[in-house]
Amino acid sequence: MRILTKGKLKLLITMATLVTITTYIIIKIFIPSNCNYANIMTSDIQQTATPKHVPKFGDIVNTRGTIPGAETFNCIITKKVAPIPVCMCIHEVTNDIHVSRVFAKYGYWEELNVKKILRILQENPTYRFIDIGSNLGGYTLPVLNMNREVIAVDATTVNIKRLSRSIQLSNTHHLVTLYHNAIYSERTEMVIKAGDKNIGGSQTDIVKQGAQSTKDEIVKSIYMDDLLETINFTDAVMKIDIEGSELHAFKKSQNFLDKVKVHYIFMEWVFIKNSPMRETFLASMYRRGYVPYDLFDKPLDKQTPSMWPWDIVLTLIT
């Protein structure tokens, strides 16, 4: 057995300490925990730009434009879910106790779902991503960092502003089409009812008497079919999470699903599992060749949809 002398042991400890200190300095300099100031490759963000296409229906966001109040946003480097770290602008955790709080303090919101989608996209280079209910960009941003095209839709201004700022910081404008709209079964005006300390839980309803609270917001709704105006691909993965309006959104999706082969639909199920529209929706998806799975690739019992988990994956079997 080789025994280290006291001098050699001291040298090894000193070298290990230097490596630790050097690693810490590199992380602090090159991987900041806060990316408010990380304007690398964003010299063009103040330029205005005409959207790639102005659709007949839908409000496309100019992500290159100046965002009022952006200097106050809390923009962080999130937990690593992909090779390139995600710089995300979140809400104050006291106002968004679920999504923003998880990102800020505990890791990554819906990490399992996101990693599964990223893996599918990695294995299928021709697939693009459609994010309906994009929120702060927990799905959209890592997909953009893969250099993959995204159609993102959100109805809430505070989310749109922060996602736009995150896109500026990652300089991925050319890959994203961002809609500021609700997706619904009618083209109309809808009121966004802000969740209590839960911005991600904001729900939509057709405007009847205007906004009922200073926190409420009115936004235009479009069909899922209307997204075809800005789509130039034929294969995709979709995530849809719009707080109980998912089945309304799919009522006007037939042209969309005819023209875009959506191989996987990641869907929040918990708020619609007992909806009276559930059986009609499922029957139409089964006719198209979709099979329901959970997030662990286990087939779900078609006879008991009210017992399915919080999130499901409708998988196109061809």
Do residues 263 and 298 both lie within one domain? Answer: yes
Burial code of 193-221, b = ≥16 C-beta within 10 A, e = fewer? bbbeebbbbbbbeeeeeeeeeeeebebbb
Residue 236, strand partner residues:
128, 262
- Encode pLDDT of 126-146 as tens digits: 999 999 999 999 999 999 999
| CATH code of residue 239 | 3.40.50.150
Domain count for the chain, please give it: 2
Q: Looking at the structure, do residues 207 and 288 belong to the same domain, yes or no?
A: yes
Q: Are residues 10 and 89 in the same domain?
A: no
Per the structure, the complete domain to which residue 6 belongs is given by 1-30
Q: Are residues 41 and 26 in the same domain?
A: no
pLDDT in tens, 60-118: 999 999 999 999 999 999 988 888 889 999 998 888 888 898 888 888 989 999 999 99
For 219-273, write each residue's pLDDT tens digit: 999 999 999 999 999 999 999 999 889 999 999 999 999 999 999 999 999 999 9
Both 254 and 186 in a single domain?
yes
Question: Do residues 72 and 217 share a domain?
Answer: yes
Q: What tokens were used for 304?
A: 């008991």
The verdict on 178 and 213 lying in the same domain is yes
Instruction: Indicate whether 256 and 272 sit together in one domain.
Output: yes
Do 259 and 158 reside in the same domain of the chain?
yes
* Statement to judge: residues 64 and 18 lie in one domain: no
The per-residue pLDDT for 32 is 46
Q: How far is CA 132 from CA 163, 224, 251, in A?
A: 13, 9, 15
Q: Are residues 26 and 131 in the same domain?
A: no
How many angstroms separate the CA atoms of 227 and 229, rounded?
5
Q: Residue type for 97, please? A: I
Of 152-166, 201-215, 243-257, which range is least confident?
201-215
**Three-state helix/strand/coil letters over 171-227:** CCHHHEEEEECEECCCCCEEEEEEECCEEEEEEEEECCCCCCCCCCEEEEEECCHHH
DSSP state of 103: I
Strand (E) or helix (H) holding 292:
strand 290-293
